[in-house]
């Protein structure tokens, strides 16, 4: 009787052990184990890649996305540049950078646009500002005076153009919003203004010239 009971316990133990090790990787053949490991990857690969947004430009330097707008065949960034450079600044506090982009001196604006883009010329600005749709993308993000002080947030917007003033090379051109109208002005290159970039290598549009303001 004692041996029968012992045999019963041994049989139960063997059955439980088989149940515990039923899912062990050692129970599978190498081919089956390889198949199980490959299945999750196969599931992940069934999803389709999301297509790139044709109205978005990605700055390859920091992977920051920018909406774009096309005016008269020229594609512009529809948001202010926000690439961090040691000579750039935010209006008073850093949170303004995310909303309104950074402010750059004219010299840094000359080289700050991302690869595949360029700083607009005076003619580019003159052409684009005929479009109300484009003008509505511009922000009144203020500017940094050449002495380092910030002025006119929510009142004035100022954007650099590529050219310096012909008869006074310490000045460069920019477009500034005054009383609801965008006008061309020239001032010290050390002023900090916003930057918009034109996407692609298209040349200046050659629009009609506005008089100096």
pLDDT, tens digit, 9 for 90 and up, residues 59-79: 999 999 999 999 999 999 999
3-state secondary structure of 134: helix
Average pLDDT over residues 151-156: 92
Q: What is the pTM of this model?
A: 0.70
Separation of CA 25 from chain center: 47
3-state secondary structure of 146: coil
Query: Please, are residues 88 and 177 in contact by the beta-carbon 8 Å criterion?
Result: no
Average pLDDT over residues 45-52: 42
* pLDDT grade for 45, boundaries at 50, 70 and 90: very low
Specify the DSSP class assigned to residue 57: E
141-177 burial code (b ≥16 CB/10 A, e <16): bbbbeeeeebebbeeebbbbbbebeeeeeebbbbbbb
188: part of which helix (H) or strand (E)?
A: strand 181-188
The separation between the first and the last C-alpha atoms of the chain, rounded to the nearest angstrom, is 114
| Distance, CA of 34 to CA of 60 (rounded, Å) | 38
* pLDDT grade for 149, boundaries at 50, 70 and 90: very high
Indicate the average pLDDT of the chain. Answer: 77
DSSP codes joined into one string, 44-56 = HTTSPPPPPPTTE
- What is the pLDDT, as a whole number, of residue 42? 33
* pLDDT grade for 106, boundaries at 50, 70 and 90: very high
Q: Is the pLDDT of residue 153 over 80?
A: yes
* pLDDT grade for 108, boundaries at 50, 70 and 90: very high
């Amino acid at each position: 009787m004692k041996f029968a009971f012992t045999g019963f316990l041994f049989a139960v133990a063997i059955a439980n052990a088989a149940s515990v090790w039923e899912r062990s990787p050692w129970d599978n053949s190498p081919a089956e184990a390889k198949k199980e490991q490959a299945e999750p990857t196969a599931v992940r690969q069934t999803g389709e890649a999301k297509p790139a947004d044709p109205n978005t430009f990605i700055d390859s330097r920091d992977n920051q996305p920018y909406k774009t707008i096309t005016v008269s065949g020229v594609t512009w960034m529809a948001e202010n540049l926000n690439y961090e450079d040691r000579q750039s600044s935010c209006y008073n506090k850093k949170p303004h950078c995310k909303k309104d982009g950074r402010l750059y001196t004219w010299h840094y604006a000359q080289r700050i646009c991302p690869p595949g883009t360029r700083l607009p010329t005076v003619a580019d600005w003159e052409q684009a500002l005929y479009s109300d749709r484009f003008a509505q993308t511009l922000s009144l993000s203020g500017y940094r005076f050449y002495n380092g002080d910030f002025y006119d947030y929510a009142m004035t917007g100022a954007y650099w153009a590529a050219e310096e003033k012909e008869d006074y090379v310490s000045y460069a051109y920019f477009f500034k919003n005054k009383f609801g109208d965008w006008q061309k002005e020239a001032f010290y290159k050390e002023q900090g203004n916003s930057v918009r970039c034109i996407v692609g290598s298209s040349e200046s549009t050659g629009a009609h010239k506005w008089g100096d303001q």
